[in-house]
Amino acid sequence: MNTVHVCASRSYDVKIGAGLLNAIGQEVRAVTGGSVLVVTDETVAPLYLAKVYQSLTAAGLRVFTASVPAGERSKCVEYYVNLLNILAAKNLTRTDAVVALGGGVVGDLAGFAAATYLRGIPLVQVPTTLLAMVDSSVGGKTAIDLPAGKNLVGAFHQPSLVLCDPDALNTLPADTFRDGCAEVIKTAILFDPGLFAHLRERGTGFDREYVITRCVECKRDVVCADEFDKGERQKLNLGHTIGHAIEKCSDFSISHGQAVAIGTAMMARAFYPNPAEIEDVLRAFGLPTETAFDAQSLASAALSDKKRAGDTLTLVVPRAIGGCTLEKIPVTELQAVIEAGMRHG
Ligand SMILES: NC(=O)c1ccc[n+]([C@@H]2O[C@H](COP(=O)([O-])OP(=O)(O)OC[C@H]3O[C@@H](n4cnc5c(N)ncnc54)[C@H](O)[C@@H]3O)[C@@H](O)[C@H]2O)c1
Ligand SMILES: [Zn+2]
């Protein structure tokens, strides 16, 4: 088992190890001695809830459970309020905890409930997707969606503990696993030539414990330098400006991971000296690198994004593996960047 220590406004451990789900009771017992509300979704519940419930009760905890339908649509005000009502009905206090067992949807939803109920109670993240292990469970961002857009309501609330059991990935559908791989490859390009080389050599058969640990360490370093997303943390958006535009243009029929893969490939073609190096790794993971949408549609979709501030926008530019820079460009130049990202050779 590997442990990554995170020193944000709250410091906590991220533990990564096969079989950790079986020991969740003792681990959570170290964070709280009272009651826990385990929040999960209807796909994860039949796979892992019984095991988790058993381990938690065996450790002497009082366990309540709540399950939401699987998918982004559950990250909404209604399910958020439902969770608050359950927490209140079961009389959970500030010494109790919420356990988020699932992917990023459950993590964000349960995390936001934990962040706001009684002005914040302890949260244990137990991510079960690759994306949640390497990205959403670490860093303290929690959120729900509004009809007007994704993640429009949220809070920074660092967890008290994060438990990643790579064995949970065995049941993940292949396309969901690939989506997480897009963020893993992104992390390698941003921060770690060694990790990039490992992914290139091993493809989808990568060493899960090592890769998850490195990704968590990289995210930890960025989050510790910039917990509240004012500068360095923006680097995590590599491939995301164009990626979000692709998601939007496809009416969200193209998944986030696929869109990020295409966005990353486009940024590579626009700026990276040897784009084939990055494209080849993405393709080896079964991820797409091209889009059929035209540059003008993508640019206007990107510019309607909430993250744009004024007349300039910050792009994460891949100059070298482990050497990406934040560069401000006038919004009027985005379309030209996208055009450059479409060209080959
Ligand atoms: N808070 C952050 O910093 C942050 C960062 C990135 C993404 N996010 C959010 O994360 C969400 C996406 O997360 P996701 O990709 O994990 O999606 P998800 O939570 O919807 O999970 C994807 C699918 O996999 C299923 N699943 C989960 N674990 C499984 C397992 N072990 N075996 C079989 N099926 C399993 C789920 O039921 C779901 O159907 C988005 O809402 C996004 O906004 C948050
Ligand atoms: Zn992403």
Print pLDDT tens along the chain (345 aa).
Answer: 999 999 988 899 999 999 999 999 999 999 998 999 999 999 999 999 999 999 999 999 999 999 999 999 999 999 999 999 999 999 999 999 999 999 999 999 999 999 999 999 999 999 999 999 999 999 999 999 999 989 999 999 999 999 999 999 999 999 999 999 999 999 999 999 999 999 999 999 999 999 999 999 999 999 988 888 888 889 999 999 999 999 999 999 999 999 999 999 999 999 999 999 999 999 999 999 999 999 999 999 999 865 556 799 999 999 999 999 999 999 999 999 999 999 775
Quick check: CB of 279 below 6 Å from ligand 1? no
pLDDT at position 282 is 98
pLDDT at residue 309, as a whole number: 61
pLDDT of residue 305: 63
Residue 328, CA distances (Å) to 115, 273, 312, 314 in order: 33, 20, 6, 4
Task: Say which residues have a Cβ less than 8 Å from residue 342's Cβ, sequence separation at least 6.
Answer: 266, 269, 290, 291, 295
Q: Is the C-beta atom of 176 inside 6 A of ligand 1? A: yes
What is the predicted pLDDT for the residue at 33?
82
Q: Are 313 and 329 in contact (CB under 8 A)?
A: yes
**pTM of the predicted structure, to 2 decimals:** 0.96
The DSSP 8-state label assigned to residue 284 in this structure reads H
> Phi then psi for 322, rounded to 5 degrees?
85, 5
Place of tokens 């920074």: 156
Distance of CA 123 to the CA centre of its chain: 16
Determine the pLDDT at residue 307: 55
Q: What is the pLDDT of residues 2-48, one digit of tens each?
A: 999 999 888 999 999 999 999 999 999 999 989 999 999 999 999 99
Share of the chain above pLDDT 90, in %: 92
pLDDT of residue 343: 79
Any ligand 1 atom below 6 A from CB of 168: yes
Any ligand 1 atom below 6 A from CB of 67: no
- Which residues on neighbouring strands pair with residue 318, listed in sequence order? 324
Q: Which domains does the chain have, with CATH numbers?
A: 2-171 (3.40.50.1970), 174-342 (1.20.1090.10)
The pLDDT score that the predictor gives to residue 9 is: 87
Q: Which atom of ligand 1 is nearest to the CA of 180?
A: 15
Q: Report whether 6 contacts 34 (CB < 8 A).
A: no
Ligand minimally distant from the alpha carbon of residue 43: 1
| Span from the CA of 273 to the centroid of ligand 1 (angstroms) | 33
**Whether 40 contacts 99, CB under 8 Å:** no
What's the confidence (pLDDT) of residue 308?
52
Would the CB of 141 count as within 6 Å of ligand 1?
yes
Best residue for ligand 1 mutational test, from 48, 79, 80, 108 (most atoms within 8 Å of Cβ): 108
Say how far apart CA 40 and CA 25 lie, in whole Å: 16
